[in-house]
Chains A and B, each alone.
Chain A
Amino acid sequence: MELTAASPFNLVENAWDLKKLMLMNKLVMVYSDRITSNSFEFLMQLAEDKLQHLNTNLKNKKKILHILVEAIQNIAQHGHKDKNNTVASLFVIGMDDEHHFFVLTGNTIPNSSEPYLRDKLDHLNSLSAEELRNLHKKRIQSPAYTAKGGAGLGFIDMMRKAKSKIDYYFATVDKDHKFFTYKVNIADNDKEET
């Protein structure tokens, strides 16, 4: 993937704009680099520190970190590796408002993976909490791990923890690849209590 800027962009002069963009969108943590199977330990530590600093309640903190582990391992196992054996990735923890956290990840995939992912996520998004629970029970008992080592449970588990649907988008990278982004919105757990 070769990216060329349409016009020169001076990062030193525009760094404040980048920072403002993060602040205005309440982005707690943004990581844009290669993701490997070892990245999640580092990202988990960083996220834990950040969430601690924000005094995030334990319920949300655990949900976010749990989703982080699944999302990162998902990318490391299934993301499209380039010739340097790395996956172009993006990982974001942010807040839609002061009560709603989200976890967003993006990674490059071959075009051929899009229909499968679309079908899978549309199907999961159509299920009720009880149906998701039943599907989880079925999958966890199926004998085989998926070909790349996952248990086929990642998205189901993220949705059960988040108690909400997953938003997704496929942006075109080049003629053979898409940038697959999905956002797990964590439902407001304490709404009833406040």
Chain B
Amino acid sequence: MQNLDLQATSTTPAIEFNAASGLLSISGRCIHENPPQMFQVINDWLKEYVQLPRPFTVLRINLEYFNTSSSKCILDFLKTLKKIEDTGNHLEVIWIYHEDDEDMKQSGEDFSELTDIPFEYVEYN
């Protein structure tokens, strides 16, 4: 299947999903006013990927800002991705945030709890 590469804009994140390596990355701002529309392409790719995932999938999320309407889409995205574990595949989610951004860490903890996926937290400064 094809990789998915989307350039970041001032309101949407950079997407680098590599189907061959199982390395997925979301980074930047996720503050589009109509997130379901923005997530359509991402979700279409994901639906195909979870059918036949790599044995090890690593998702790196490094968001500067996200709005509350996007948070619902991020949650749904994580829930769909978690399905790859049902077929014995391994999923690792790395949540990256600035060391002073306690809210972003809290958001990661919320998503982790809601999806029942243990996140690895990485701080940068």
**Do A63 and B67 have beta carbons less than 8 Å apart?**
no
Instruction: Tell me whether A149 and B69 are in contact (CB under 8 A).
Output: yes
How far is B110's CA from A151's CA once the two chains are assembled, in angstroms? 16
Indicate whether A41 sits within 8 Å of B11 (C-beta atoms), given known contacts A59-B102, A66-B65, A161-B103: yes
State whether B100 touches A37 (Cβ < 8 A). Answer: no
A140 touches B71 (CB 8 A): yes
**Does B31 count as interface, using CB distance less than 8 angstroms?**
yes
- Asked whether A137 lies within 8 Å of B68 as measured between CB atoms, the reply is no
- Indicate the size class of the contact surface on chain B: 20 to 34
A121 at the binding interface (Cβ < 8 Å): no
- In the assembled complex, the Cα of A153 lies from the Cα of B65 at a distance in Å of 15
B51 at the interface (CB under 8 A from A): no
Residues of A near B71 (CB, < 8 A) are 140, 151, 153, 157
**Stretch in A19-27, A68-76, A99-107 with 4+ CB within 8 Å of B:** A68-76
Give bound CA distance, A137 to B111, whole Å: 9
List chain A residues, Cβ under 8 A from B10: 41
B100, A57: Cβ atoms closer than 8 Å: yes
Q: What residues of chain B lie closer than 8 Å to A136, measured between beta carbons?
A: 110
- Whether, in the assembled complex, B55 has its beta carbon less than 8 Å from a beta carbon of chain A, the answer is no
Interface extent on A, as a size class? 20 to 34
- Whether B101 contacts A153 by the Cβ 8 Å rule is no
Q: Which residue of A lies closest to B33 (CB)?
A: A37
If A69-B65, A153-B68 touch, whether A141 touches B36 (CB-CB below 8 Å) is no
Contacts of A161 in B (CB 8 A): 103
Query: Which residues from chain B contact A70 at a C-beta distance below 8 Å?
Result: 67-68
Which residues, 10 to 34 on B, are CB-close (under 8 Å) to A?
Answer: 10-11, 31, 33-34
The CB with the most chain A CB atoms within 10 A, among B11, B67, B106, is that of: B67
Residues of chain A having any CB pair with chain B under 8 Å = 37, 40-41, 57-59, 62-63, 65-66, 69-70, 73, 76-77, 133, 136-137, 140-141, 145, 149-151, 153-154, 156-157, 160-161
18 contacts between A and B (CB under 8 A): A57-B100, A62-B65, A62-B100, A62-B104, A66-B65, A69-B67, A73-B69, A76-B33, A136-B110, A140-B114, A141-B75, A141-B114, A145-B36, A145-B69, A153-B68, A153-B72, A157-B68, A161-B103
